[in-house]
Amino acid sequence: DADVTQTPRNRITKTGKRIMLECSQTKGHDRMYWYRQDPGLGLQLIYYSFDVKDINKGEISDGYSVSRQAQAKFSLSLESAIPNQTALYFCATSDFGGEQFFGPGTRLTVL
Protein backbone atom coordinates (compact mmCIF):
# COMPACT_ATOMS: atom_id res chain seq x y z
CA ASP A 1 0.00 0.00 0.00
CA ALA A 2 1.29 3.43 -0.91
CA ASP A 3 1.55 5.31 2.35
CA VAL A 4 3.18 7.98 4.50
CA THR A 5 5.28 6.77 7.42
CA GLN A 6 6.94 8.61 10.30
CA THR A 7 9.70 7.61 12.70
CA PRO A 8 9.84 7.61 15.63
CA ARG A 9 6.17 7.39 16.68
CA ASN A 10 6.93 8.54 20.21
CA ARG A 11 9.95 10.33 21.59
CA ILE A 12 10.85 11.75 24.97
CA THR A 13 13.88 14.01 25.09
CA LYS A 14 15.48 16.61 27.30
CA THR A 15 15.79 20.36 26.91
CA GLY A 16 18.73 21.31 24.73
CA LYS A 17 18.97 18.02 22.85
CA ARG A 18 18.97 17.84 19.05
CA ILE A 19 16.28 15.62 17.63
CA MET A 20 15.29 14.53 14.13
CA LEU A 21 11.88 13.34 13.00
CA GLU A 22 11.75 11.43 9.73
CA CYS A 23 9.06 11.08 7.11
CA SER A 24 8.93 8.73 4.13
CA GLN A 25 6.28 8.29 1.46
CA THR A 26 5.60 5.80 -1.28
CA LYS A 27 2.85 7.81 -2.97
CA GLY A 28 5.16 9.35 -5.53
CA HIS A 29 4.11 12.86 -4.54
CA ASP A 30 6.41 15.82 -5.10
CA ARG A 31 5.02 17.93 -2.25
CA MET A 32 5.72 17.29 1.43
CA TYR A 33 4.79 19.16 4.60
CA TRP A 34 5.48 19.22 8.32
CA TYR A 35 2.73 20.28 10.73
CA ARG A 36 2.53 20.72 14.45
CA GLN A 37 -0.70 19.99 16.33
CA ASP A 38 -1.45 21.39 19.77
CA PRO A 39 -4.84 21.01 21.50
CA GLY A 40 -7.21 23.76 20.38
CA LEU A 41 -4.78 25.21 17.85
CA GLY A 42 -5.42 23.02 14.86
CA LEU A 43 -2.66 22.13 12.42
CA GLN A 44 0.09 24.70 12.07
CA LEU A 45 2.48 24.50 9.12
CA ILE A 46 6.17 24.40 10.07
CA TYR A 47 7.92 23.86 6.71
CA TYR A 48 6.97 22.66 3.26
CA SER A 49 8.68 21.49 0.10
CA PHE A 50 7.11 21.49 -3.37
CA ASP A 51 9.95 19.47 -4.88
CA VAL A 52 13.39 18.13 -3.96
CA LYS A 53 15.16 21.45 -4.49
CA ASP A 54 12.47 23.59 -2.83
CA ILE A 55 12.22 24.38 0.90
CA ASN A 56 9.89 27.01 2.37
CA LYS A 57 9.12 28.26 5.85
CA GLY A 58 5.62 27.93 7.18
CA GLU A 59 3.87 29.95 9.86
CA ILE A 60 5.86 28.58 12.84
CA SER A 61 9.37 27.73 11.57
CA ASP A 62 11.43 29.29 14.38
CA GLY A 63 13.41 26.62 16.24
CA TYR A 64 12.99 24.05 13.44
CA SER A 65 14.89 23.09 10.30
CA VAL A 66 14.24 20.59 7.53
CA SER A 67 16.03 18.52 4.95
CA ARG A 68 14.56 17.04 1.75
CA GLN A 69 16.89 14.14 1.06
CA ALA A 70 14.91 12.71 -1.86
CA GLN A 71 11.45 12.91 -3.37
CA ALA A 72 10.31 10.33 -0.82
CA LYS A 73 12.03 11.67 2.32
CA PHE A 74 11.55 14.85 4.35
CA SER A 75 13.12 15.26 7.80
CA LEU A 76 12.34 17.76 10.54
CA SER A 77 15.01 18.74 13.08
CA LEU A 78 14.82 20.54 16.38
CA GLU A 79 18.32 21.92 16.88
CA SER A 80 17.94 22.54 20.61
CA ALA A 81 14.64 21.23 21.93
CA ILE A 82 12.65 23.25 24.45
CA PRO A 83 9.57 22.22 26.48
CA ASN A 84 7.11 24.31 24.45
CA GLN A 85 7.98 22.18 21.42
CA THR A 86 6.15 19.32 23.11
CA ALA A 87 3.43 18.49 20.59
CA LEU A 88 2.13 16.03 18.02
CA TYR A 89 3.96 16.35 14.70
CA PHE A 90 2.49 15.26 11.37
CA CYS A 91 4.11 14.86 8.00
CA ALA A 92 1.88 15.08 4.91
CA THR A 93 2.24 14.70 1.15
CA SER A 94 0.27 15.81 -1.87
CA ASP A 95 0.48 16.22 -5.59
CA PHE A 96 -0.30 19.52 -7.33
CA GLY A 97 -3.58 20.93 -6.02
CA GLY A 98 -4.81 17.69 -4.52
CA GLU A 99 -5.62 15.96 -1.26
CA GLN A 100 -3.00 15.95 1.48
CA PHE A 101 -2.24 12.53 2.94
CA PHE A 102 -1.01 12.53 6.52
CA GLY A 103 1.42 10.23 8.27
CA PRO A 104 0.50 8.60 11.61
CA GLY A 105 2.17 11.34 13.66
CA THR A 106 5.06 11.58 16.11
CA ARG A 107 4.30 12.44 19.71
CA LEU A 108 7.25 14.45 21.04
CA THR A 109 7.76 15.29 24.71
CA VAL A 110 10.54 17.68 25.75
CA LEU A 111 11.34 17.57 29.46
Partner 1 sequence: GENVEQHPSTLSVQEGDSAVIKCTYSDSASNYFPWYKQELGKRPQLIIDIRSNVGEKKDQRIAVTLNKTAKHFSLHITETQPEDSAVYFCAASMAGYSTLTFGKGTMLLVSP
Return residues touching partner 1 (CB under 8 A). 33, 40-45, 48, 58-59, 90, 96-100, 102-105
**What is the CA 72 to chain-centroid distance, rounded?**
13
Closest distance to partner 1 from the beta carbon of 31 (Å)? 9
Shortest approach of partner 1 to residue 75 CB, angstroms? 18
Cβ within 8 Å of residue 17, ≥6 positions away:
80, 81
Nearer to partner 1, 54 or 79 (CB): 54
CB of 43 to partner 1, least distance (A): 4
Helix (H, G, I), strand (E, B) or coil at 88: strand
Pick from 76, 74, 4: nearest CA to 32: 74
For residue 27, give the DSSP letter: S
Q: Which is nearer to partner 1, 20 or 45 (CB)?
A: 45
